[in-house]
Amino acid sequence: MFPDAGPDDPTVTAMRARELGRKSVVVGDRVSLVGDTSGAPGALARIVRIAERRSVLRRTAEDDATTAEGRLERVVVANADQLVIVSALADPPPRTGFIDRCLVAAYDADIEPLLCLTKADLAGPEAVLGYYTELELPYVLIRPDSDLAALRALLAGRVSVLVGHSGVGKSTLVNRLVPEADRAVGTVSAIGRGRHTSTSAVALRLPPQPHADGDPGWIIDTPGVRSFGLAHVSAESLLHGFPDLVEATVDCPANCQHTAEEADCALDAWVAGGKADPRRLASYRRLLASRSGEGDPREPERNPGDPLAGS
């Protein structure tokens, strides 16, 4: 990817040079090229160097570290500045468990999160925002006819990666931001599941806006995902995805695992004292359990008992 590329710069086709060995190239990588970089038909360049990555957003297929599939780590994107978590407010309903996982991944990668709530014409955001009230999480509301100026302002000058379930309107949003992107748009089934439409991650330069100066930024659209495994995230880093709970752990005994079985864990008193939402603690402990293979990895984005989870 070329962060300084202008809208009129040519699209260059390049292949990885043999001397890079097994080192993979992912969307967002900044690379050095040799050969024909004219972008002319039939021109082919070679990728000879991959610059050091400023950030790496990863996910694992599942959280079960006892299986090969559960340990399979995938780099979603490199060098992103911002993770835009796209969630519909209805059809399909929002799933806070999935959002929690994305927040953990963002904090672990040192990427700023942004919550983008779509289909705001179908339901209000109060329940979702109330769940995250202690985090002061930045957010935008999107309706089919809404002006995207506020979102564009948050994307300007940044490389932002969009992540969300299939059916939440992510491809529709991308097409509104970059009309020439022509990303395929699907529908939501009767049971509230979206059909996968995007099949590969793609970086798109945002078009300049009238009367706006500076770099409009880049967005990276990713395929819709059903889960966001966190087996690659340490237990300590997992906690930092829940900043509303971190302060309470100062009073925990040494080597506290913060599970419900820990009799002296300070998190329970913290929640009982009204300093954090009990659903947040339940979500954190569910993620702890799923990392150790104790949870049900098939639906890791659901928070049991949470009315926002649609279950």
Please give the full DSSP string across 144-173, using - where no structure is assigned.
Answer: TT---HHHHHHHTTSEEEEEE-TTSSHHHH
pLDDT per position as a tens digit, 2-49: 555 655 678 899 999 998 888 889 999 999 999 999 989 999 999 999
Residue 3 has a pLDDT of 54
pLDDT score of 189: 35
**Residue 1: exposed, middle, or buried by beta-carbon count in 10 A (0-12, 13-18, 19+)?**
middle
pLDDT 10s digits, 257-283: 999 999 999 999 999 999 999 999 999
- Amino acid symbol at 42: G
pLDDT digits (tens, 9 = 90+) for 117-172: 999 999 999 999 999 998 989 999 999 999 999 999 999 999 999 999 889 999 99
The model's pLDDT over 196-247, given as tens digits with 9 standing for 90+, comes to: 444 578 999 999 988 778 899 999 999 876 677 888 888 889 998 999 999 9
Cβ-Cβ contacts under 8 Å for 140 (sequence gap 6 or more): 114, 115, 116, 117, 150, 151, 154
- 45 forms beta bridges with 14, 35
The type of residue at 107 is Y
pLDDT at 87 over 80: yes
| pTM for this predicted structure | 0.84
Residue 250 DSSP one-character state:
G
Q: Which residue has the tokens 């966001």?
A: 228
Please count the other Cβ atoms lying within 10 Å of the Cβ belonging to residue 106.
23
My answer on whether omega of the bond before 92 falls inside 30° of 0, hence cis, is yes
Burial class (CB in 10 A: 0-12, 13-18, 19+), 98: buried
Q: Partners of 141 in the beta sheet?
A: 117
* C-alpha 232 chain-centroid distance: 15
